[in-house]
Amino acid sequence: MSGPTVDPEEKPSARGGRRRGRSGKTRTGAARLWRGWLLRRVVIVLAVLALIPAGLTILYKVPFIHPVSTLMLRDLATLEGYDRRWKSLEEMGTLIQYSVMMSEDGQFCAHDGIDWAALNLVINDALSGEKARGASTIPMQTVKNLYLWQGRSFVRKGLELPLAVYLDLVLSKRRILEIYLNIVEWGPNIYGAEAAAQHYFGRPASELTRRQAALLAVTLPNPLERNPAKPSGGLSRLAANIEQRARKAGGYVGCLKP
């Protein structure tokens, strides 16, 4: 007797189809697990990276702690070394403080880390196709130098904003300016006002003339290209303008008073 007729192609095909179904579900489940694991790790890494500047900023409230910048760490890593001579605001004198503030961030004492009016102007100029202007405040430049990287980047700028607000919330204005004036780059491997004053003018920052302090201040937007000891005509004109603004700073620098 012969049993039911079975198509030799059908059964293997059906079984094969079931095998492919299970395998596909297994692969999909494994992929989901992998994506979930990867996402959790990314979140953890981002949380840790966010906690580093948050913790360091609190630590930097302590006056005897002297922070270093990411550029200074780079110079150490490449074995180039750097020249930085930490000085308190009292030891620097007021001329370099007022000159840098009036050149870099005239509203330093008034804003909460971000000069929103200046930032809105930059955004409006960008939307209208105008040439971009700088709107970085001293707190923004400080967090960039302390925690972030150099160069223009929307990602970096996006990180700068909350960090600048946090810095301004945690630290006093005097401490922010003190850190900034001790870590900002003033030339190749030269950091801080004291090292810059000694390098370019052969004198401590506290003994700078008004014009020398103004020349150092207007060098900061492009310290690798500008030389305050050998200023161009344009740089000298900028310095003259900043010198006059620093003389008339008045209430603008009220937050720097001891």
140-162 pLDDT, tens per residue?
Answer: 999 999 999 887 777 888 889 99
Work out the percent of the chain whose per-residue pLDDT is above 70: 81
**Cross-strand partners of 83:** 190
Does pLDDT of 23 surpass 80?
no
User: pTM score, two decimals?
Assistant: 0.81
CA distances 209 to 93, 188, 234, Å, are 11, 23, 19
pLDDT tens for residues 196-209? 999 999 999 999 99
Distance in angstroms (rounded) separating the CA atoms of residues 257 and 255: 6
Say what the pLDDT of residue 125 is.
Answer: 58
Say what the pLDDT of residue 258 is.
Answer: 82
Does pLDDT of 187 surpass 70?
yes
Does pLDDT of 210 surpass 50?
yes
